[in-house]
Amino acid sequence: MQSIQSKHVAGTKEFIDIGSPELHISISKFSEDLSTPWHYHEKTYFTLIQKGGNVEHRKDSSFECHPGDLFIYNSDYWHYNDKGRAGSRNFNVEIDDKWFKKYEIDRTHLSGAQLLKNITVKAAFLKLVAEVHKNDEYSSLGIESYLLQIFTEILRSHNCQTRKSPGWVKKIRDYLSDHSGDISLSTLSQIANLHPVTLSKEFPVYFGTGFSEYIRNLKCERVLQLLARKSMSLQQIANASGFCDAGYMVKTFKKRYNLTPTEYRKSLSY
């Protein structure tokens, strides 16, 4: 892994050379409490909070950022951060306009800034992170491929939102986010007030995947958030994430993200 370090706010920003002049990948490490002035990014900017966190302020809102949160910022979107926790770490991807032009992606449809909760997007981004740490002769190809998957899904979700999701979508999403036990199609149908056949056909339209894949990805999302807590064992994380045992958690996590929970946890100390 080739890298260049530079001073960055209250810590360092380490740039990783992946052989692509249009993509700029870096890891920000904060040794003191993070506090930044109002600023914007000149390029489209992804950041994944891997450890620690902070409070982000925008013109119309403020909210707390936690490990596992993935954000995208369109260029020229103003914001600032404070109350950062010492030891925080962010994984960043900056994308030149030339990259969007090369693949004919219209980024004007992207919102100014967005907390990406779409688990299909997050799964692809974690695979991108794994490719960066492999950093071999095929990694640049893999990274670009995952970025294309990410933007395809972001724009698909945008098109769904412009059609306005029916009320049952939020009910189902909230239920699945809060419930880690057994889940049945009949229960979901009752919550949505839809026939099981109708719900089965409509679910992938608004969630981007089927029931089982969505639930597995949601559990892996919980694992991702908890891996930053070094005091928790893999079995404890499995229990807290709704997995029956650590072995199945490891197998499912690796299938989703192309690396094991232990490998991801180790990557946080690079």
27-74 pLDDT, tens digit each? 988 877 777 888 888 899 999 999 888 899 988 889 899 888 999 998
Among 77, 100, 117, residue at a domain's last position: 117
In a domain, 161, yes or no: no
Residue for token pair 């029956």: 244
Question: What DSSP character marks residue 52?
Answer: -
Q: How far is CA 152 from CA 70, 117, 131, 148, 225, in A?
A: 16, 15, 19, 6, 25
pLDDT at 39: 86
Same structural domain, 180 and 105? no
Q: Does the pLDDT value for residue 226 go beyond 50?
A: yes
Number of domains the chain contains? 2
In a domain, 220, yes or no: yes
Each residue's pLDDT tens digit, 149-185: 999 888 877 666 556 779 999 999 999 988 867 789 9
Q: Which pTM does this prediction carry? A: 0.80
Same structural domain, 85 and 180? no
What phi, psi does 51 have (nearest 5°)? Answer: -145, 155
Tokens representing 261?
């929970």
Handedness of CA 84, 86, 90, 94 (dihedral sign): positive
Residue 239 is part of which domain span?
167-267
pLDDT at 206: 85
Q: Does the pLDDT value for residue 92 go beyond 90?
A: yes
In a domain, 153, yes or no: no
In a domain, 108, yes or no: yes
Tokens representing 120?
């299909």
Single out the residue of 90, 114, 115, 119 nearest to residue 253, CA to CA.
119
